[in-house]
Chain A
Amino acid sequence: MRAILECRTLNKKYANLVALNNVNLTIERGKIIGLLGPNGSGKTTLIKLINGLLVPSSGEILIDGKKPGPETKRIVSYLPERTYLPDWMKVADAISFFEDFYSDFDKGKCMDMLKRLNLNPGMRLKNLSKGTKEKVQLILVMSRQADLYCLDEPIGGVDPAARDYILNTIISNYNENASVIISTHLIADIEKVLDEFIFIKDGNITVHASVDDVRSREGKSIDTLFREVFRC
């Protein structure tokens, strides 16, 4: 089966900054991958390139063999690191929006998850706290049956109890043909759910390996390894 994501000598430069430098990366289906790196290392840039919100300076990015466009957006479910739902909407409006545009959106599943987290669809987004908005967005994104989920800082703003629920949601909601990319610097919290991890530093991918391999070979957690590699 074709890799869900492939980057070939991918570069993204801003005026005086190299955000991604010759990134070569292949991500297979059926994996949960942690995209790990300090702030400003290029995590968000990579995810935005996957979603077509930025255009590469050079090189190529392919999702299921296709360049980012309407076809790839149909199969990618993206959670940005910011609140992107219009604040005049009620939660129910956002649900009908997703239902209209994404044929893989499962409304029943969405309603179940909202209920579990005691979120009422009648609530207006404007009146919700930042953490609650993040929960709503994550629920919407995870209610799709996508082939690739890109979650940019999905647990940053929510409390530890909700964090556990969200991680469980992520593990239980994707199918064997789908992959999940989770960008974060809260490694200890998500380490247990990861199959693979990527270390990214100053726009370079320094490590892309299996979590189990590293644990058994080096005898340490990814969190410890991260603290060593990225020691300030």
Chain B
Amino acid sequence: MLGKLIKHEFKATARLLLQIYLILIALALICKLVHSLDIFKGILSLIPATIKIVYVISIFASLVITVIFAVMRFYKNLVSDEGYLMFTLPVKASNLINSKLLVSVCWLLLNAALVFLTYLFVFPGQTKDIIKALLSIVETEFGSRSSFLITEFAIVMLISLVDTILLFYVSIAVGQLFNRHKIAFSAAAYIGIYSVYQFIAAIILLIISFINNDLMFNIASLSRIIFPFFIFFYLALAVVLYTATNYIFSKRLNLE
């Protein structure tokens, strides 16, 4: 059943998101074309500059839209009228959550890949320089541990992405427990839960830095302490957020 849910989730979300990504690609192509023409002199040089700005804005816009759409889709499909359809399907609530989480992460990864590839295509020299510079910094600081550090960083990013989405999910789940003002309570839950986990993370980091005095000054601690800490912390957070969301939708569903 999870496979079918994923299939229908892709079908429902592709309508909007593919259009957004096509716009991103189209803007990248236009940007590349305009920059390679090199015919805009004087005041006309505003044209390539403007197009570049529009392209860069579209990068951020696409990422923001992908996240907002994932959240709105979750709310609309599960907690509004469409929830009557989804929650009467012969599937477990966990599979409804899994399908939405998986598809959202897929879209975000695709989006990120498109951003990177189009940027590399439009500004190949600049992009390669930045990557080289970053790699050489990592290389000098971490030497043989470089690839380990990069892997850690990628894992932190991926899990924190999942956490970002799950935090919205659990907030929506909490909000629907109330009979009125479901959206307002969802927003309040989001702020509340976010503050609590930021607070806990800060406390733990503080404790670690007390135990380990040079934590903040020694860059080597990044791969030995900071990243492992965040991997563990974000993973634990993901488990808590997921379990809470699943519990509420399985045992405390309250569709108005």
Bound-state Cα–Cα, A55 to B93, Å:
14
Q: For window 79-100 of chain B, which residues contact chain A by CB distance below 8 Å?
A: 81-85, 87-92
Bound-state Cα–Cα, A116 to B176, Å:
40
Which residue of the partner chain B has the closest CB to A81? B84
Interface residue? A15 (CB, 8 A): yes
Q: Which residues of B contact A78 (CB under 8 A)?
A: 84, 88
Q: Which residues of A contact B1 (CB under 8 A)?
A: 101
Q: Which residues of B contact A122 (CB under 8 A)?
A: none
A15 and B252 form a contact (CB under 8 A) = no
**Interface locus among A67-75, A174-182, A196-204, A222-230:** A67-75
Q: Which residues of A contact B144 (CB under 8 A)?
A: none
Interface residue? A82 (CB, 8 A): yes
A100 and B253 form a contact (CB under 8 A) = no
A15 and B8 form a contact (CB under 8 A) = no
Bound-state Cα–Cα, A224 to B222, Å:
80
Which residue of the partner chain A has the closest CB to B250? A69
A53 and B255 form a contact (CB under 8 A) = yes
User: Chain A's nearest CB lies how many Å from the CB of B172?
Assistant: 16
B88 and A15 form a contact (CB under 8 A) = no
B85 and A84 form a contact (CB under 8 A) = yes
Q: For window 2-20 of chain B, which residues contact chain A by CB distance below 8 Å?
A: 4, 7-8, 11-12, 15
Which residue of the partner chain B has the closest CB to A103? B90
Interface residue? B179 (CB, 8 A): yes
- Contact A53 to B88, CB < 8 A, known contacts A84-B81, A86-B12, A86-B82: yes
A88 and B88 form a contact (CB under 8 A) = no
Q: Which residues of B contact A53 (CB under 8 A)?
A: 83-84, 87-88, 253, 255
Interface residue? B151 (CB, 8 A): no
Interface residue? A209 (CB, 8 A): no
Bound-state Cα–Cα, A48 to B253, Å:
10
- Contact A14 to B179, CB < 8 A, known contacts A54-B254, A55-B253, A82-B81: yes
A83 and B81 form a contact (CB under 8 A) = yes
Q: Which residues of A contact B15 (CB under 8 A)?
A: 88
Bound-state Cα–Cα, A51 to B90, Å:
11
Q: Which residues of A contact B92 (CB under 8 A)?
A: 70
Interface residue? A85 (CB, 8 A): yes
Bound-state Cα–Cα, A84 to B87, Å:
11
User: Chain A's nearest CB lies how many Å from the CB of B251?
Assistant: 7
B12 and A55 form a contact (CB under 8 A) = no
For chain A, the bracket of interface size reads 20 to 34
Interface residue? B223 (CB, 8 A): no
Q: Which residues of B contact A55 (CB under 8 A)?
A: 251-254
Bound-state Cα–Cα, A54 to B253, Å:
5
Bound-state Cα–Cα, A57 to B137, Å:
61
Q: Which of B7, B84, B91, B179 contacts A70 (CB 8 A)?
A: B91
Q: For window 69-127 of chain A, which residues contact chain B by CB distance below 8 Å?
A: 70-71, 73-74, 76, 78, 80, 82-86, 88, 93, 97, 100-102
Q: Which residues of B contact A74 (CB under 8 A)?
A: 90
Most buried by A among B85, B91, B253: B85
Q: Which of B4, B12, B87 contacts A100 (CB 8 A)?
A: B4
Q: For window 221-256 of chain B, which residues contact chain A by CB distance below 8 Å?
A: 251-255
Q: For window 8-26 of chain A, which residues contact chain B by CB distance below 8 Å?
A: 14-15
Interface residue? A157 (CB, 8 A): no
User: Chain B's nearest CB lies how many Å from the CB of A67?
Assistant: 11
User: Chain A's nearest CB lies how many Å from the CB of B82?
Assistant: 6
Interface residue? A52 (CB, 8 A): yes
Q: Which residues of B contact A102 (CB under 8 A)?
A: 90
Bound-state Cα–Cα, A14 to B256, Å:
11
Interface residue? B77 (CB, 8 A): yes
User: Chain B's nearest CB lies how many Å from the CB of A181?
Assistant: 14
B254 and A88 form a contact (CB under 8 A) = no
- Contact A15 to B179, CB < 8 A, known contacts A48-B255, A74-B90: yes
Q: For window 47-106 of chain B, which residues contact chain A by CB distance below 8 Å?
A: 77, 81-85, 87-92
24 contacting pairs across A/B (C-beta < 8 A): A15-B179, A52-B87, A53-B87, A53-B88, A54-B255, A55-B251, A55-B253, A70-B90, A70-B91, A70-B92, A71-B90, A74-B90, A78-B84, A82-B81, A85-B82, A85-B85, A86-B12, A86-B77, A86-B82, A86-B85, A88-B12, A100-B4, A101-B1, A102-B90
Q: Which 4 A-B pairs have the closest CB atoms?
A: A74-B90, A84-B84, A73-B90, A53-B255
